[in-house]
Amino acid sequence: MIAAVAFILWHGFWRWMVPGIIYLILIAYIFGLIKQSIEYRILALIALGVLFLVPLGSRDSIYNAIYAMWIALPIALLFFIQHTTITIRHWKWSSESFNYAKVLILATLLLSSVAQAMSYTYRDSKNRLEMTAMVEHPLLTGVLTTNERAKVMQELLDELQKYVKPSDVILAYEGISLIYFLTQTRPYLYHAWPLLEHPTSLKKSIEKAELERSILPIVVRAKASTSVRDWPNNFFDNRLKPYESEKMTRQLIEDFLNRHQYVKIWENRFFEILQSKSTTPKPFGT
């Protein structure tokens, strides 16, 4: 119970308090509440702009500000590290009070940052001690993940070598745009993440590809969601969710596969490779 409460408090602190404190410090610099040179205030304005713009449009809101702190965080830390004379509404902190506050906030930031770094991995295991395996690929040197994920990825990459080579055009979808990078291939539909496109735009991309590209691509897709931490485990819980925005785009791709008589030529527990029985693209609507 105590551990759960501590985790909630820490998570809330990192998600809301850390960005919030940095926002307040930058605003204080910009409006002269913290005495600094005009150059420093301009830098704070730029940092605040970046910190504000990056999270816009994200469903995670202010939490994504952690990806925009490269300028803002050093400025905030300098505020505590330097013996800055601060005046807020003409009230000056005593040197002793400021030193206590500085030590407390720096220690809290340090501890919460270490805890966050240990537990937060982007769509991978929460337990870094489980991430001991590496996919044997020159572009993934030094990148560790779980044994299960490394295994299914290695199987896929080994198999793809039989069908594609660098600069080929392929179609990879269901959140696996990394495949283009690892195989050094190009997206058949001119977009590395086609399910993010609006159905009208995706339909036009399919029509354009069928007219411009003379060879039908090898298709790679995931059987379940890659947006969760524990894939390829818990397969049932991670099954593809029928988001309303993706229903039509997914159906357009399925229609493309059916129209060109794609069949499954390989699969493992998480990925599939499909190939067309035909060699020449059929125009949309035929």
Residue for token pair 């485990």: 233
Using CA atoms, how far apart are residues 114 and 145, in angstroms rounded to an integer?
Answer: 19
Residue spans of alpha helices (H) in the chain: 2-12, 18-30, 38-53, 72-81, 95-119, 147-160, 178-183, 199-212, 244-259
pLDDT per residue over 25-34, tens digit each? 888 888 887 7
Do residues 84 and 164 share a domain? no
CA atoms of 224 and 52, how far apart (whole Å): 33
Say if residue 32 is in the same domain as residue 91: yes
In a domain, 102, yes or no: yes
User: Range of 225's domain?
Assistant: 133-276
Same domain, yes or no, for 115 and 141? no
On whether residue 285 sits in a domain, the answer given is no
Its pTM stands at 0.70
- Cβ proximity of 279 and 215 under 8 Å: yes
Picking from 76, 95, 119, the residue at the C-terminal end of a domain is 119
Q: Which of 15-19, 47-51, 209-213 has the lowest mean pLDDT?
A: 15-19
Comparing 59-68, 117-126, 263-272, the range with the smallest average pLDDT is 59-68
Task: Pull the structure tokens for residue 265.
Answer: 């030529």
Question: Do 141 and 99 share a domain, yes or no?
Answer: no
Choose the weakest-confidence range: 118-127, 167-176, 235-244. 235-244
Q: Position of tokens 């290695």?
A: 154
pLDDT one-digit tens code per residue, 181-231: 999 999 999 999 998 889 999 999 999 999 999 889 999 999 988 888 888
Q: Given phi > 0 = left and psi -120 to 50 = alpha, else beta, which region is 92?
A: beta
State how many domains the chain has: 2
pLDDT at 141 over 50: yes
In a domain, 125, yes or no: no
CB 62 within 8 Å of CB 55: yes
> Residue 153 falls within a domain, yes or no?
yes
Q: Which of 222, 233, 223, 16 is nearest to 124 (CA)?
A: 233
- 235 within some domain: yes
Residues 188 and 230 in one domain: yes
Mean pLDDT of 8-25: 69
Residues 115 and 139 reside in one and the same domain: no
The more confident residue out of 12 and 195 is 195
Pairing of strands 169-173, 186-187: parallel
Cα–Cα dist 265/221, whole Å: 12
Report how far apart, in Å, the C-alpha atoms of 228 and of each of 18, 126, 221 are.
25, 11, 16
Residue 284 lies in a domain: no
